[in-house]
Structure 1
Amino acid sequence: MRKAHSSHDNATGRQLSLLIGLVVVLAAGVAMIDLGYAITRPQPFPHPGLLALVLVGAAIANRVKVYVRMRSSRDGTAWGEVPVLIGLVFLPHGWVVLCAAAGVAVVKIVAGTAPHRAVFSVAKEVLTASTASLVLTLAGVNVTADPPASTILPVTLAYLAMWFVDDLVFMPVIAIASRTTIAQVARKDLGGKLIAHAFRLVVIIYVIEVLASGSSPLLLGFVPLLIACLHLWHSRQLRTKEERRSWRELAKTTEELSSVELTQVLHVAATQGARVFSSDVVEIDLTASGIDRVVRAHGSEVVYDGPGPRAFAGVSEITAELETTDRSYQAGELVLGFHGKVKLNEFEQYKLKTFAAALCTAIRNATAYAELQRLNEQNAYDAAHDPLTGLANRRELYEHAGTHFRGSPSDGVVALLLIDLNHFKEVNDTLGHAAGDAVLREVARRLADAAAPGDLVARLGGDEFAVLLVNLPTPALATHRAKTMLAALEESVAVEGMQITVEAAGGIALAAGSGGVNELMRRADVAMYQAKRAGQQTATYVHAQDTADIGRLALGGELHRAVAEHEFEVDFQPIVDLGSGEVVAAEALARWHHPEHGSLTPMEFLQTVERSGRLQAFADAVLDQALDASDLWRDAGFDLPVAVNVSPRSLLDPRFPEAVLSRLSRHAVPADRLIFELAETLTLSQLDVVGKALTELSEAGVRLALDDFGTGVTPLSVLSHIPVHQLKVDREFVGAVQTSSEAAAVIRSTVDLARSLHLTVIAAGVESEPQRHALWSLGCLAGQGHLFARPMSAARLLATLQRGTAGRPGALATSLHDGAAVVRMSRRRSSGTGRSALPHLPA
């Protein structure tokens, strides 16, 4: 911008220099012609006094002007034609031209005018005076021989010629300097100029007629007074017009300042300010609200808009504070720069103050509007984005997905990936919400980085995220993209000096032909829970598997009624000594006796319970029924421990251990008669979180069993994290113990590990006598399964125990030993440090 302005100024300077040079050359040529004429036709030297009058008159007439400010110079109408034309009528023309040029030169030198301007003014004076001399010479004017009236027409023609040459020379210079057209300069105040020229011509003719007729010199006495009156009248007329024009310009500029865009306000003020105040440079130094911004304009062009400081280096600077009339708001400063010495009159000062106040108000309004617009944009952004992670929120996801649903089919396949972080609540409960927020932000960052261009990553709330996959060439690519995004979460997250592993499950749903965004979200949710149940990282929605999912979702609204009306009942499956066939414990298995769907297993409703907020009420109901059963059996002479499955989410509640011990005391059940079973598929991060509760329960005497042992990935690490008393071999290995050497090896290694750690091993899912014998031969002491009994109510189990097998109460199977081979070991209850209360049978 600066270079453009500099080149423009250079071009203007070159044009002015060429034009001034041309005028000077023409004037020099005319002067040479006048000099040659004077030499070839010598004229008598006129009276020195008359020449002095011409010189002084020309000097005074060119000094006293009607000034009108135009840009950086003062210009207007002068009376220089009067003494020059009168002198040309009565004196030798060469001397008059010389005296006129000398008078102008003296004035310019005294005024300290720049040399190039002074030379131009002298050259212009030579041209205009020589033009009038030529006209009068051609007309043959001789005031001594001709009657006075005969000089009127030649003098008028000479004056018109002077006027024409003066405008012909001067107007192009003004047009170039002011960057306007010659026509605009010519039309400016044309009526006033005509009146002024008419007055001057009348004065010139009157003075010539008086002097030529030999009338009394007293008749010339009122001429200076007449000139002064005309001068004052014309000055007033021009100033009045200029003031009116200035007010119109100011009003127009003020109206243009009503924009609500700050940059437009500053640019309009800078460019229009130069026009309103005829300044060379306008600078606006904006400092409101800590802003450092300078806008600079030369004429009608903004040449700089950026940080300060101001850079004008002219002769005069006039500064106005940008403040409201009550000084309640200050925006900065307005600076008018002039290359020459300028002093504003009272009217101009008031106009500048008015302009500054209007500009300040416009700046305040534009600033307030910008702030309001920023707040609106911020509110719109906040309404569409998650405040914690900066990702799109649910609303933005729905709107974005809706636009793709309405798009062209050629845009490709649209799919939704729904991501849920596994066991994230444990992070919040253990490390605090600040650490949980840090994990969520890191997850959001990784998902956003892994997303393909055009995909939208959103946080739906809590630990749920969604990714709208768009422009997929084929549906199969959705699974590939989903795995890529979930792979980005595999690297551990460092939080408060700890390395936390983030595990997630994702459900993928392709955009359906009907149902819109809501149906797409529902299908992705169904697929996500399918992945969780299957222990997979991702799952794609399959319509054939949707019925169960819909039913499970419907169950969530019925949990409150189920707990209140005791629809949850507990059955018990006995745990049997594999060698003797005697019952040594029982596992509590909850059932939901639904009025419409019948008996539902935990696999069908447990996840719904865990996500509903009714988990604590459900767990309390199951525990109460289990302890009631223990009381019932003990009163009948069967002191059996009871095993109850516990959800990791229950262990996250710091009040859970106290609540369990309180219930044990209320039912008068010893703590070692209660066994809590945990799934071995728990991750290390989960075990770290729930370890405190498990340790507290173990120290109180409650025993812990690790369920589904062998299906996890870090069994030794798991055993080192929690105080385990029992290992429960998964039914998958038990079912294959006869046919698979690998399954048998797993069971044998589990037994060996348990013996070294003084733990008891229980086999789940024993279905046949051959399996019982195989397990016994591998060293497994206890088991449960349909071989011995199916789950049954507490009362029915008591009746079964009392009835026994082969006349042996408490036994559900025949002994694998003859009577002499069996050595009875008394049951012993575990102490605070004991590991097992199940009987140890000899190998």
Structure 2
Amino acid sequence: MTVTRSSNDDATDRRLRLLIGLVVVSAGGAAAVLTAVTSDLWPMPELFILLALALAMVVTNRVRVDVRIGGNKHGMSWSEVPVLVGLVLVPPPWVVLCVVAGVSIGFATARTTAHKAVFGVAKDSLAATTAGAVVLALGLRPDLNAPAFDLVTLAAAFLAMSIVDDLVFFPVVGFASRTSVRAMFLHNLGLRMLGRAIRLAVVLAIVWAIALGRNPSILLLVPPVVFCVHLWHTHRIRTQQERDAWRELAQATDELNVVDLEAVLASAVTRAARLFSADETEIELATGRVVRGSADGVTTGGAVRDGTTVDADLKDHDGSHRIGTLRLRIRGSVALTEFEQYKLQTFASALSTAIRNATAYARLEQIAEENAHAATHDPLTGLANRRALLDRVEQVLAARAGEGITALLLIDLNHFKEVNDTLGHATGDTVLRHVARRLAGAAREHEMVARLGGDEFAVLLTRLSAPAMASHRADALLAALDPIIEVDGMRLTVEASGGIALAPGTGGQDELLRRADIAMYQAKRTGVRTSVYVHAHDTADLGRLVFGGEVSRAVADSDFAVDFQPIVDLNTGEAVAAEAVTRWPDAGELVDQRRLLRTIERSGQLPAFAAAVLEQSLAAARAWGDAGFDLPVALNVAPRSLLDPDYPAVVLDRLAAHGLPPDRLTLELTETLAISQLDTVGRVLRELREAGVRLVLDDFGTGPGSLTLLSRLPVHELKVDPEFVRTVDSAAEVTAVVRSTVDLARSLHLTVVAEGVESEPQRQALWELGCAAGQGRLFARPMPGGKLLAALRRGHDGRPGAFAPTLHDAGAVIRLPQGRRRRGPLPHLPA
């Protein structure tokens, strides 16, 4: 480490030397005056007495209570005792001479620095001179043969010594250590007052003994008496200092119990400087960040100070990982005591814990902010999502009085499916991000741009001065999509249709979104860029709108039915599972499940619908199991459900509530999952699979992302789309596709299930191609759970659980595993 000194340090040293010189001159002058005034009054005392006084001064100078102020140790000595005792026996000038000699010898044997020794000799001689002047002024005359005991004079001389000592000691030491004189004076004031009272009592006791016995030899008892009393006093001081140190340490560690890292570091550097009387404290974190400070607060920059450096490592709870270093810098050469080292380690441990806690809290806050952002933003584009848009619409509609006109622009990209099908989902995602950036760039500060899902965007237009301004803003936003987009060297154009709806008087956010949806489809139908909602066009897609209204009502009232279509072993004809499909009683027929899920997602009631379908499906599976038919139930799951990290917990909770093992539930996934959703969906699906829930990739082979999804989703089965099944027995190309699908599935240890089996030739062809199971009208139409149970009991050809005859005799081929009346996976073809 390179240590540098600043010009400020050199200037301080010069001023300190001048101040010490002033003390020396004052002490010398006072001693000279005292000597001149009293030189003719008394003869020279016996040499024995002078030697005894000098020895007492040496001993009392070395018997000191050290107090660290700043980076230096300063001793509180017992010099008052021999000085006052000597003033009773010999003339003051000789006492001052003994003080100079004894203190000089004491400092010489202590090997202290020259400037400290000079200052100590000058200070003690000045205090002794003052005490001698007070004694003479009050009329006390020293006498070896008849020493007098004058309590008032001795107390006054002791007080004068103490005052002079403090007036000289604290300003000089405070200046040297850059410490407040007031703070130094108040530091351990009670202990100092107690020490002085003890020293005065010792003085009075010794003088009384000398006066009573009229024996100056008692002066030789001063060193041992002082030493014994000093040991007792030092023990009390150290006990009190340790008690105060622990209290200060407890207060310091309490201040570290905050969750803000900045506050922890600031408190640590200032508290450490006070605890260990350090001139500078530094915390260097493992990240490279450095924070410096002193007892006055955090400092920035500046030269590293000269002196002693003491380091303490900051580590984690088990000591295996270094968090940083706590570094103390103290002016001068200082060695920490064993107690101070232990205190430093305790403080470093508390600081390590505080830094870990603050760092963890900051990380939790960051995660909470990220989660809050993710809950209201689209992960692909970073725009607001449907939830955030609807919340904002609700706020605007609630407080729109005096805020101008509000409108909603719904934007749908034309022919976007062709981009995904031709160039892949990755290119499609890139196009969507470009569109999002352009819309956000064209929007005004008070307008919200959101992605509702897929290729559908929305812009909430607020503070419009007139209804016509909604069309003007819509044209401007859609015009931002006109420039060509370059993706991987390809030049693409984006066309979009927009529907505009002004905020309705009633109906709120759902009505506004519905009207914008109608206007957008009107724009698509008529081939114009934008269309404004008008009531006359509200019947343009009456069937879809009525269906959407029915969905919302039925979900809210739980007024829908769940039917079940058996999935059978193609060879044996026995049921191995059943797929749940939703039917509206009023419609009298089944509806397309994908269209149903999209409509429910648009209505905002997907969680309630999914929970109701799951509940009915598990209840039916439980009823079949109680009747002896242990069939798993399969149901379609919307991508939006799989984006909810709590979805696995909900599913497993309902399975447990019905007493069903996880493998009695199969979730069917569609190929409409966006590539950008796969990371989140993959985590949810892995959690479900690890719990035992079976997963199926539905309609495999109908989209360009089939292999991408298959490689990234942990599924158990593949379902061949009905479009392939319909001509599998007559079209060679379709046969090749199905065969390659089965071969791929077999290499990945997956089961292949065919949908839409309607004839025996299709069944036979699928079986010969290696397809294990199938479902379709050949075996049974979807039916309520109770009717399916009755059909299972009735069976086929006297075989309960069968829905078709076997394809082969038992001995003609290797028999596949039987149906799911017993536990086990769907049947696999033998290799």
Paired residue for 1:404? 396
Q: How does 1:669-818 map to 2 (within 5 A)?
A: none
Question: What per-residue deviation string (whole Å, max 9, x for no partner) do you get for residues 209-249 of structure 1?
Answer: 55567744664454322211111111111110111111111
* Aligned counterparts of 1:325 and 1:662: Cα–Cα separation in 2: 67
Question: In the alignment, residue 341 of structure 1 is paired with which amino acid?
Answer: S
* Aligned counterparts of 2:380 and 2:156: Cα–Cα separation in 1: 89
Query: What is the CA-CA distance between 1:200 and the residue it aligns to?
Result: 2.2
Paired residue for 1:294? 290
* Aligned counterparts of 1:232 and 1:558: Cα–Cα separation in 2: 95
SS of 1:409 mapped into structure 2: coil
Query: What is the CA-CA distance between 1:432 and the residue it aligns to?
Result: 0.6
Question: What per-residue deviation string (whole Å, max 9, x for no partner) do you get for residues 548-600 of structure 1?
Answer: 345552367999xxxxxxxxxxxxxxxxxxxxxxxxxxxxxxxxxxxx99xxx
SS of 1:331 mapped into structure 2: strand
SS of 1:340 mapped into structure 2: coil
Paired residue for 1:137? 136
Contact persistence 1:66–1:76 (CA under 8 A): yes
Contact persistence 1:272–1:300 (CA under 8 A): no
Pair 441,229 (structure 1): closer, same or farther in 2 beyond 3 Å: same
Contact persistence 1:283–1:334 (CA under 8 A): yes
Indicate which of 458, 462, 465 corresponds to 1:470: 462
Question: In the alignment, residue 298 of structure 2 is paired with which amino acid?
Answer: V
Question: What per-residue deviation string (whole Å, max 9, x for no partner) do you get for residues 387-432 of structure 1?
Answer: 1111111111111222222325233332221111100000000011
Pair 144,101 (structure 1): closer, same or farther in 2 beyond 3 Å: closer
* Aligned counterparts of 1:476 and 1:83: Cα–Cα separation in 2: 105
Q: How does 1:296-311 map to 2 (within 5 A)?
A: 296-304=292-300
Structure with larger Rg: 1
SS of 1:148 mapped into structure 2: coil
Indicate which of 23, 26, 32 corresponds to 1:35: 32
Contact persistence 2:140–2:153 (CA under 8 A): yes
**Which is worse superposed, 524-533 or 41-50?**
41-50
SS of 1:513 mapped into structure 2: coil
Question: What per-residue deviation string (whole Å, max 9, x for no partner) do you get for residues 49-73 of structure 1?
Answer: 6556555544543333112334422
Q: How does 1:134-533 map to 2 (within 5 A)?
A: 134-144=133-143, 148-172=147-171, 185-208=184-207, 215-216=214-215, 219-287=218-286, 291-304=287-300, 312-324=304-316, 326-407=318-399, 409-533=401-525
Pair 21,401 (structure 1): closer, same or farther in 2 beyond 3 Å: farther
Contact persistence 1:67–1:235 (CA under 8 A): no
Question: What per-residue deviation string (whole Å, max 9, x for no partner) do you get for residues 449-474 of structure 1?
Answer: 11111221111110011112223333
* Aligned counterparts of 2:400 and 2:521: Cα–Cα separation in 1: 31
Question: In the alignment, residue 471 of structure 1 is paired with which amino acid?
Answer: R
Paired residue for 1:784? none
SS of 1:411 mapped into structure 2: coil
Paired residue for 1:671? none
Query: What is the CA-CA distance between 1:165 and the residue it aligns to?
Result: 2.0
Query: What is the CA-CA distance between 1:332 and the residue it aligns to?
Result: 2.0
Contact persistence 1:192–1:234 (CA under 8 A): no
* Aligned counterparts of 1:168 and 1:179: Cα–Cα separation in 2: 17
TM-score w.r.t. the length of structure 1 is 0.60
* Aligned counterparts of 1:509 and 1:11: Cα–Cα separation in 2: 75
Contact persistence 1:316–1:339 (CA under 8 A): yes
Query: What is the CA-CA distance between 1:144 and the residue it aligns to?
Result: 2.7
Contact persistence 1:270–1:284 (CA under 8 A): yes
* Aligned counterparts of 2:303 and 2:514: Cα–Cα separation in 1: 65
Question: In the alignment, residue 264 of structure 2 is paired with which amino acid?
Answer: V
Query: What is the CA-CA distance between 1:121 and the residue it aligns to?
Result: 3.6
SS of 2:494 mapped into structure 1: coil
Pair 503,113 (structure 1): closer, same or farther in 2 beyond 3 Å: farther
* Aligned counterparts of 1:555 and 1:38: Cα–Cα separation in 2: 119
SS of 1:477 mapped into structure 2: helix
Contact persistence 2:23–2:123 (CA under 8 A): no
Paired residue for 2:67? 68
Question: In the alignment, residue 244 of structure 2 is paired with which amino acid?
Answer: R
Query: What is the CA-CA distance between 1:81 and the residue it aligns to?
Result: 1.8
Query: What is the CA-CA distance between 1:313 and the residue it aligns to?
Result: 4.2
Pair 200,661 (structure 1): closer, same or farther in 2 beyond 3 Å: closer
Contact persistence 2:149–2:207 (CA under 8 A): no
SS of 2:540 mapped into structure 1: helix
Question: What per-residue deviation string (whole Å, max 9, x for no partner) do you get for residues 311-343 of structure 1?
Answer: 844422222222356324432222222112222
Aligned-residue CA RMSD (Å): 4.2
* Aligned counterparts of 2:332 and 2:243: Cα–Cα separation in 1: 25
Paired residue for 1:737? none
* Aligned counterparts of 2:303 and 2:36: Cα–Cα separation in 1: 56
* Aligned counterparts of 2:599 and 2:464: Cα–Cα separation in 1: 35
* Aligned counterparts of 2:393 and 2:174: Cα–Cα separation in 1: 62
Pair 224,126 (structure 1): closer, same or farther in 2 beyond 3 Å: closer
Pair 109,526 (structure 1): closer, same or farther in 2 beyond 3 Å: farther
Give ranges in structure 1 of 5+ residues lacking alignment.
Answer: 1-5, 560-595, 598-607, 614-649, 667-843
Question: What per-residue deviation string (whole Å, max 9, x for no partner) do you get for residues 742-773 of structure 1?
Answer: xxxxxxxxxxxxxxxxxxxxxxxxxxxxxxxx
* Aligned counterparts of 2:238 and 2:448: Cα–Cα separation in 1: 67
Query: What is the CA-CA distance between 1:367 and the residue it aligns to?
Result: 2.1
Pair 387,342 (structure 1): closer, same or farther in 2 beyond 3 Å: same
Contact persistence 2:16–2:176 (CA under 8 A): no
Contact persistence 1:440–1:463 (CA under 8 A): yes
SS of 2:311 mapped into structure 1: strand
Question: In the alignment, residue 32 of structure 2 is paired with which amino acid?
Answer: L
More contact order relative to length (CA 8 Å, sep ≥ 6): 2
* Aligned counterparts of 1:652 and 1:136: Cα–Cα separation in 2: 110
* Aligned counterparts of 1:120 and 1:55: Cα–Cα separation in 2: 18
Query: What is the CA-CA distance between 1:151 and the residue it aligns to?
Result: 3.6
Question: In the alignment, residue 99 of structure 2 is paired with which amino acid?
Answer: A
**Which is worse superposed, 39-48 or 244-253?**
39-48
Question: In the alignment, residue 374 of structure 1 is paired with which amino acid?
Answer: Q
SS of 2:399 mapped into structure 1: coil
Question: In the alignment, residue 165 of structure 1 is paired with which amino acid?
Answer: V
* Aligned counterparts of 1:84 and 1:421: Cα–Cα separation in 2: 102
Contact persistence 2:317–2:353 (CA under 8 A): no
